[in-house]
Amino acid sequence: MSSPMKDKILEAKAQGRTALIPYLPAGYPDRDQFWKELEMLDAAGAAIIEIGMPFSDPVADGPVVEAACLQVLEDGINLTWIFDGLKKRKGTLNAGLLLMGYLNPVLQYGVERFAEDCEAAGVSGLIIADMPIDEADFVIRAMKPRGVELIPLVGLNTSKERMKLYAKEAEGFVYMVSVLGTTGQRDSLPTEIKAKLTEAKEVFDIPVALGFGLKTPSQLTPFGDLVDAAVVGSSLISHIRDGGTAASYMKAWT
């Protein structure tokens, strides 16, 4: 069975580069500019674009992402707006599309309806940051027939035994959270990441992406082939907030 998320990452790897997965909250920095930034990320070679579903209580997000999410919420950005915009642009982007957020908005929208609209909008991946894998069966059952892969999150405190539990249902890629805490740029990453990445590579037969805290490409150097993809969010948002564009941001990474 085809795996769009995995295929996009392996495509980048075949070209000799780490796949880049930029994250941007839907509607940021404003309704019109968001779509232009998305097109720039795609044109610059993003393997997958992670679109944030804004939520009023983003427990995993650091101050930069949280501020951006609250800004777009105040502007009335919601799932209907996201799906409507993606449906209009379906087939125009080369990057895989992934939605990232929290369970509450998905439940409010309706899980089956959400899955149907993901398929209709060309979305093939989903991350729900506050949903443990052992409580995810009802979401997986809705998403799988629609070609939407539920991406597992694992961290420095995830045991190898628990990783094996995740690996049973894992699709697309596995997202390794590089720090204990919230998202945000960091000048250095914990030294124990390498051992945990090695463990993840042993357990999972899908690509491994590293995220939370990435600021510069040089931070990936110590990990070599252990990292198949890099997720960047806070540094991209900060760059746009300070007057830059996705196109200028991506130059440092591609």
- β-sheet with 208-211: strand ranges across: 149-150, 125-128, 96-101, 48-52, 19-25, 229-232, 208-211, 174-177, 153-154
**CA–CA distance, 94 with 79 (Å, rounded to integer):** 22
**Residue 211 DSSP one-character state:** E
In 18-128, where does DSSP find H-type helix? 31-43, 63-74, 79-88, 103-109, 111-121
Task: State the DSSP H helix or E strand holding residue 154, giving kind and residue range, or none if neither.
Answer: strand 153-154
Which contacts (CB < 8 Å, 24+ apart) does range 156-159 have?
156/180, 156/190, 156/192, 156/193, 156/196, 158/196
DSSP 133: G
Residue among 37, 42, 50, 117 flagged as catalytic: 50
Q: Residue 168's Cα: distance from chain center in Å?
A: 20
Token pair belonging to 46: 């993003």
User: Between β-strands 174-177 and 96-101, what pairing exists: parallel, antiparallel or unpaired?
Assistant: unpaired
Two structure tokens written together for 86: 């993606």
Identify whether 228 is a catalytic site residue. Answer: no
Tell me, yes or no, if 135 is annotated catalytic.
Answer: no
Kindly state the tokens that stand for 149.
């892969």
The catalytically annotated residue of 42, 61, 149, 171 is 61
Active site residues: 50, 61
